């Protein structure tokens, strides 16, 4: 438990530094128009922390910084506080927040143009990954199904997680395949080297959602655990995605309705299901002091 709290404290400070710098650091400069090696006409930010990023990419980065500073960090602090008090709900929420920070700052480290906070991004996703597994080890997974009430929304969660996985696979393959065939990014994505969000969604989020749905359907204790992680991550994305849709709509007067519509539905359902999940989960004391070995469906711990 002590290691989890120390690492969580470091993550909090590093995310605070990263978000504050992204919002408030404004080095002088003007937008830079540039023709890429693919022949795409791109506009780069030209100022601030995201000086060398495409303007649309930098805009998303700043939106993410605002959300992480105003909502992500307070929610993360609440999860850490509840975990320190021995709350199972707190540990599950902490798992979701750690997965979220791992996702966001892995994308920042591999997707943003090199900036002075590169090592901060690396430290956040590295510490988030390590703390995620330490926190996971401290949860009494086998007891989770018995800790749920008769109104636990298992079927709704199965439907939600499989729907999210399906939406991401359909939307992102529909975006990636035309780029692979043409060799060029569409105008709204010009200037990037690759598609980090799509890579991480298809490589991390889709497997998480599929595993959650399948294991819940099998009534595995791990399904109940992964549901908490999926919903904790999902709540933050339910706040971020509408902002990513609204900001370009306000600034540019355009939005991709084909992608926005299913994503907005997911965003509306996520917080509601998270509320039902935590409301129907009994909050028990954890095994934080001396956790035993994890048990995985007939596989004895060592």
Distances in Å between the Cα of 79 and the Cα atoms of 72, 136, 146, 220 are 11, 14, 22, 24
pLDDT for the residue numbered 20: 95
* Domain contains 154: yes
294: Cβ contacts below 8 Å, ≥ 6 apart: 136, 137, 141, 301
* Domain contains 126: yes
pLDDT for the residue numbered 244: 61
* Domain contains 294: no
Q: How far apart are CA 281 and CA 86, in angstroms?
A: 14
* Domain contains 43: yes
Q: How far apart are CA 154 and CA 64, in angstroms?
A: 31
Q: How far apart are CA 28 and CA 127, in angstroms?
A: 33
pLDDT for the residue numbered 179: 87
Q: CA dihedral defined by 33, 39, 40, 45, rounded to 10 degrees? A: -30
pLDDT for the residue numbered 66: 92
Could you give the number of structural domains in the chain? Answer: 1
pLDDT for the residue numbered 285: 54
Helix, strand, coil percent content, the chain, rounded in steps of 5: 70, 5, 25
pLDDT for the residue numbered 171: 87
Is this structure's pTM higher than 0.95? no
**Using an 8 Å Cβ cutoff, are 237 and 270 in contact?**
yes
pLDDT for the residue numbered 39: 78
**pLDDT (tens digit, 0 to 9) for every residue of the chain, 302 residues total?**
889 999 999 999 999 999 999 998 877 778 888 887 777 888 888 888 998 888 888 888 888 899 999 999 999 999 999 999 989 999 999 999 999 999 999 999 998 989 999 999 999 999 999 999 999 999 999 999 999 988 999 999 999 999 999 989 998 998 899 888 887 787 777 788 888 889 999 999 999 999 999 999 999 999 999 999 999 998 888 887 766 665 554 455 555 555 666 777 777 888 889 999 999 988 765 444 434 444 444 443 33
267: Cβ contacts below 8 Å, ≥ 6 apart: 237, 238, 239, 241, 242
Q: Which residue has the tokens 């509408």?
A: 242
pLDDT for the residue numbered 290: 39
* Domain contains 284: no
Count CB atoms within 10 A of the CB of residue 88. 23
What residues make up the domain containing 85?
Answer: 2-279
pLDDT for the residue numbered 286: 42
* Domain contains 69: yes
Beta bridge partners of 280: none
* Domain contains 299: no
Q: How far apart are CA 86 and CA 1, in angstroms?
A: 10
pLDDT for the residue numbered 63: 87
pLDDT for the residue numbered 288: 41
pLDDT for the residue numbered 1: 83
* Domain contains 220: yes
Q: How far apart are CA 214 and CA 121, in angstroms?
A: 32
């Amino acid at each position: 438990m002590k290691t989890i709290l120390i690492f969580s404290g470091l993550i909090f400070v590093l995310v605070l530094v990263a978000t504050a710098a992204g919002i408030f650091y404004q080095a002088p400069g003007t937008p830079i128009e540039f023709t890429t090696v693919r022949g795409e006409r791109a506009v780069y930010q030209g100022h601030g922390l995201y000086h060398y990023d495409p303007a649309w990419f930098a805009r998303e980065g700043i939106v993410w910084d605002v959300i992480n500073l105003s909502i992500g960090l307070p929610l993360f602090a609440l999860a850490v506080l509840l975990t320190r008090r021995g709350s199972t709900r707190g540990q599950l929420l902490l798992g979701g927040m750690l997965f979220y920070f791992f996702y966001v700052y892995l994308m920042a480290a591999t997707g943003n143009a090199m900036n002075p906070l590169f090592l901060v991004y690396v430290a956040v996703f590295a510490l988030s990954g390590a703390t995620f597994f330490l926190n996971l080890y401290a949860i009494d997974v086998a007891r989770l199904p018995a800790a749920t009430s008769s109104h636990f929304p298992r079927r709704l969660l199965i439907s939600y997680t499989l729907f999210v996985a399906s939406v991401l696979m359909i939307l992102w393959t529909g975006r990636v395949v035309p780029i692979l065939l043409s060799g060029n990014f569409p105008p709204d994505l010009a200037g990037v080297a690759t598609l980090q969000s799509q890579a991480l969604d298809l490589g991390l989020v889709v497997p998480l959602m599929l595993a959650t749905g399948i294991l819940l359907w099998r009534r595995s204790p791990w399904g109940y655990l992964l549901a908490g992680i999926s919903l904790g991550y999902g709540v933050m994305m339910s706040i971020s995605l509408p902002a990513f849709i609204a900001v370009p709509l306000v600034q540019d007067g355009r939005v991709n309705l084909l992608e926005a519509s299913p994503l907005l539905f997911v965003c509306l359902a996520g917080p509601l299901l998270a509320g039902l999940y935590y409301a129907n989960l009994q909050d028990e004391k954890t095994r934080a002091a001396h956790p035993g070995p994890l048990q995985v469906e007939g596989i004895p711990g060592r």
